[in-house]
Amino acid sequence: MQAVSILEGPWRDPVEVLGGFADEPFALALLSDGGERGRWSYVARRPDAVLALTRDDPRDPAAALRDLLGPPLAVDPDGPPFQGGLAGLAAYELGARFEPVALARCAGWPDLVVGRYAALLAFDHRRRRMLAVGRGAAGPEAKDRAREALGWAAFGPSPAPPSGPLAERIEAASAAAYEAAVAEVVGRIAAGEIFQANIARVWSGRLGEGASPYHLFARLAGPSPAPFAAYLRLDDRAVVSNSPERFVAVEAAAGGLRVETRPIKGTRPRGRDAGEDAALAAELTASVKDRAENLMIVDLMRNDLARVCPPGAVAAPELFRLESFANVHHLVSTVTGVLAEGRDAADLLAASFPPGSITGAPKVQAMTIIAGLEPPRGPYCGSMFWAGFDGAFDSSVLIRTAALVRDGAGWRVELRAGAGIVADSDPVAERMETEAKIAALLGALTDRRA
């Protein structure tokens, strides 16, 4: 795939384009909100090769990704950041291959599943243009693939969603049980076992007749856009994510391959009016507890990046930035680095997965505690990512995410939301934080807030 061809077509909404083939295996969308950090969205289908690593597959994930991607290839400097390559899902339990911790698996979910996409559509929200990218052994083959991708946008209208709720009822796991789990973690922190752990709560139910994972994705994209929203359809499974959080990214820069991670820690709900909203935002930015919680994860991510960056190359240029979304305010920090010579994005993934913001500190012991208090996570708190033929990489943390499984009765759906537990956490307050975080997903499923 030495040649790349980029053709421009009239603007189309990426969610509508996806709707033309959303039920195909390996239909993929990586959707941006078009904001400050979200210029590009991508839609792809029909990968020319796939990789799936189940629990019993002995292959090394980083080596398998490199083998499927092949040697670095040039890109068009005027094109989008992702110009073909790998894209897919790293489930949370992939972390058992990188860290010394035993993790049970969610039945049927692989640790890692990716497609290699030689063609895709890229949507430039800033300039309102749609670009078709094709890769091939030579120019004519690359152009044919780009033309084929342009044709995806000419499909018929997206499937109409049901007029009412997508799910009649979504049941939450016991509030008392969640609060008890939080109290147990607080006790283990007091005993000196860990500093912090992210504990999640489960919501589950079924989609109604005629509702599909795509309908959930489309509903979230309207009122509650996120900079790292994602959709992946497998044969009888699907992931729908409305994540606000970047995991790790790699891009070419002067001096080498630059790395960035933007961990989120610290949350408040949005207010009912402008005054209450501003007060909640100010409370979050002033919170000593939330800033300390955020700083612990910054230190953890600095340590993870230092595994693959030279001494002195890792920095935290921005701490505790307030970012506001449809249902919550968050504190977000930025950690940067430069990969050491001979290191690549696969090395970075192995060094830092699973994301520290949804495990805790120290990471391995936090993961051990989580495994004793939660059922296997599967996609939740894993990552959706792309890895470009040129070595570039970007990835999300799969929070605000639904995992869907199709059986004889239709689609089962599972949602989770977690909170970072520290020494002075209040179990009721942490439980309420999970309800604020899950509100957009519940609203999209039920047409009502949590």
- Please tell me which residue in 93, 245, 293, 414 is annotated as part of the active site: 245
Per the annotation, the verdict on 260 as an active-site residue is no
As a whole number, mean pLDDT of residues 352-356 equals 95
% pLDDT > 90, the chain = 80
As a whole number, mean pLDDT of residues 253-276 equals 87
Question: What does the pLDDT read at residue 40?
Answer: 95
Q: Taking Cα atoms as reference points, which of 117, 339, 322 lies closest to residue 248?
A: 339
Determine the Cα–Cα distance for residues 197 and 187; give it in Å rounded to an integer: 12
pTM, full prediction: 0.94
Determine the Cα–Cα distance for residues 220 and 218; give it in Å rounded to an integer: 5
Radius of gyration of the chain (CA): 21
| Pairing between β-strand 85-90 and β-strand 383-388 as defined by DSSP bridges | antiparallel
- At 77-118, the pLDDT tens digits run 999 999 999 999 999 999 999 999 999 999 899 999 999 999
Q: Which domain holds residue 253?
A: 3-157+166-446
**SS3 label, residue 277:** helix
Question: What does the pLDDT read at residue 449?
Answer: 36
Pull the structure tokens for residue 274.
């402008």
Distance of CA 288 to the CA centre of its chain: 28
Pull the structure tokens for residue 81.
């950041």
Determine the Cα–Cα distance for residues 99 and 117; give it in Å rounded to an integer: 29
Determine the Cα–Cα distance for residues 305 and 309; give it in Å rounded to an integer: 6
Model confidence at 148: pLDDT above 90: yes
Tally Cβ neighbours within 10 Å of residue 279.
13
- Please tell me which residue in 265, 293, 430, 437 is annotated as part of the active site: 265
Determine the Cα–Cα distance for residues 159 and 214; give it in Å rounded to an integer: 9
Question: What does the pLDDT read at residue 323?
Answer: 85
- At 20-53, the pLDDT tens digits run 999 999 999 999 976 666 789 999 999 999 999 9
Model confidence at 156: pLDDT above 70: no
CATH classification at residue 198: 3.60.120.10
Give the Å distances, CA to CA, from 24 to 19, 20, 28, 287: 10, 9, 9, 46
Conformation bin of residue 192: beta by default, left when phi > 0, alpha when psi is -120 to 50:
left
- At 376-387, the pLDDT tens digits run 999 999 999 999
Instruction: Specify whether the CB–CB gap between 219 and 212 falls below 8 A.
Output: no
Model confidence at 328: pLDDT above 90: no
Question: What does the pLDDT read at residue 327?
Answer: 74
Distance in angstroms between the alpha carbons of the first and the last residue of the chain:
48
Lowest pLDDT segment from 196-210, 254-268, 392-406, 422-436: 254-268
Per the annotation, the verdict on 265 as an active-site residue is yes
Question: Which single residue is written with the structure tokens 């940067």?
Answer: 336
Q: Taking Cα atoms as reference points, which of 52, 132, 127 lies closest to residue 86?
A: 52
Structural domain count of the chain: 1
